[in-house]
Amino acid sequence: MHLALSPVLLGSGEHLFENLNLPQLGYRCIESVASAKATHLVIAKH
């Protein structure tokens, strides 16, 4: 999965993965690239 995160507050500012334990579910971040306007994450299931 490729996520592009941008620092924009929408609504009440809810956390995207607040109640998920991604490592426990078998996911890990395999790449992270920050730019001036966003952070790009690649998350994969291993």
| Gap between the Cα atoms of 39 and 8, Å rounded | 12
Query: Cα 35 vs. chain centroid, distance in angstroms?
Result: 14
Please give the pLDDT value at position 39. 94
| Gap between the Cα atoms of 22 and 20, Å rounded | 6
Which string of b and e fits 7-37 if b means at least 16 CB within 10 Å? eeeeeeeeeeeeeeeeeeeebeeeeeeeeee
pLDDT per residue as tens digits for the range 5-36: 888 777 777 777 889 999 999 999 999 999 99
Higher pLDDT, 44 or 18: 44
Helix (H, G, I), strand (E, B) or coil at 23: coil
Please give the pLDDT value at position 15. 78
Please give the pLDDT value at position 4. 92
Please give the pLDDT value at position 35. 92
pTM comes to 0.71
